[in-house]
Amino acid sequence: MRIVVTGATGFIGQSLVQRLAADGHDVQILIRKPRTGLPPQIPYAIWDAQQNDPPLAALEGAEAVIHLAGEPVAQRWTAQVKRGIRASRAGGTQRLISALSQLSRYPRVLISGSAIGYYGSRGDEILTEASGPGKGFLAEVCEEWESAANLGLALNMRVVRLRTGLVLGREGGALSRMLPAFRAGLGGRLGSGEQWMSWIHLQDLISLIVHALTNDKLSGAVNGVAPGPVRNSDFTQALARELRRPAIFPAPMFLLRLLFGEMAHEALECSQRVMPAVAEKAGFDFRYTELGPALRDLLRS
């Protein structure tokens, strides 16, 4: 299958491209700026999702598009950063769909990234794909992002809106940012630690994307999370246990708000107890359903 991947040099994108190439697919990637170290057999084209339309030549002949491009959320949200987050996701997806509409033949499937930020902070409420959107900046961005992806329905594409949670991997993402403090014995819960964290092992997320590529019955919103969400305090203890370190230094939420502003409230303090109802109904088999074995695999391999 000829597959175009945007955001292909990001944390998720790099592993996905490796998997698709290993599976024998013809992969074309779109990246924001030239980079060394890319596999020589994989062609790339330049696309800045905030500024430009994607090049039509790179999209021609695609049977599937996996759209992961977007400005990172894990940073202090200035007005400029928030504009970039919104423009790269909602605006970038609109530009992508506009370009796809100009092709002589449309792809059969679009898998477009989204996030469980769609649900906002919901306390102990169990959230599935049937749950409505929440409130806040991230929820608004995710709604706009997904609405833009749904424009692909007018092109008779099967559209999958992948709402990812906290992705755990060796080479990047949130876990790599946590490890230095926890390895030094300086880790601890965030605030009260009562907030729910919905996580997924990177390899399970990659497998879920591949599953979505090939399962014609899978469409609409799909939660990219494992079926075992945990509270932040439990996550903290599990990580400390696997590292054989204490975790006795909680991070006060007022300090996190001072350091990260609005992002701390929406991305660190929020509680999202999300379940992968659609993936499980579609027959997807999670390899890591519990946090302990997932962390063990990532930290001891």
Do the Cβ atoms of 85 and 70 come closer than 8 Å?
Answer: yes
Residue 259 is predicted with a pLDDT of 85
Q: Render pLDDT for 36-85 as a digit per residue (tens, 0 to 9).
A: 666 778 999 999 999 899 999 999 999 999 999 999 998 999 999 999 99
Residue 301 has pLDDT above 70, yes or no: no
pLDDT of residue 79: 94
Q: What is the pLDDT of residue 36?
A: 61
User: With 90 as the cut, is the pLDDT of residue 143 above it?
Assistant: yes
d(CA 216, CA 193) in angstroms, rounded, equals 40
Q: What is the mean pLDDT of residues 141-159?
A: 98
DSSP state of 151: G
Burial class (CB in 10 A: 0-12, 13-18, 19+), 226: buried
Rounded to an integer, what distance in angstroms lies between the CA atom of residue 176 and that of residue 149?
30
pLDDT of residue 300: 84
- What are the sequence ranges of the domains in the chain? 2-168+198-226+274-286
Which pLDDT score is estimated for 33? 84
- In the predicted structure, residue 222 carries a pLDDT above the cut 80: yes
Read off the pLDDT of each residue in 221-248 and give the average, rounded to a whole number: 96
What are 285's two structure tokens? 């088999």
37 or 98, greater pLDDT: 98
Q: How far apart are CA 213 and CA 220, in angstroms?
A: 13
pLDDT tens sequence across 235-262: 999 999 999 999 999 999 888 888 889 9
- Mean pLDDT, all residues of the chain: 94
Residue-level pLDDT at 172: 87
Q: What's the average model confidence in pLDDT over 207-233?
A: 97
What's this model's pTM, rounded to 2 decimal places? 0.95
DSSP letters, 244-282, are T------B-HHHHHHHHTHHIIIIIS---EE--HHHHHT
Residue 280 Cα distances to 24, 158, 227, 285, angstroms: 26, 19, 9, 7
Can you name the residues that pair with 221 across neighbouring β-strands?
Answer: 161
The CATH class that applies to domain 2-168+198-226+274-286 reads: alpha beta
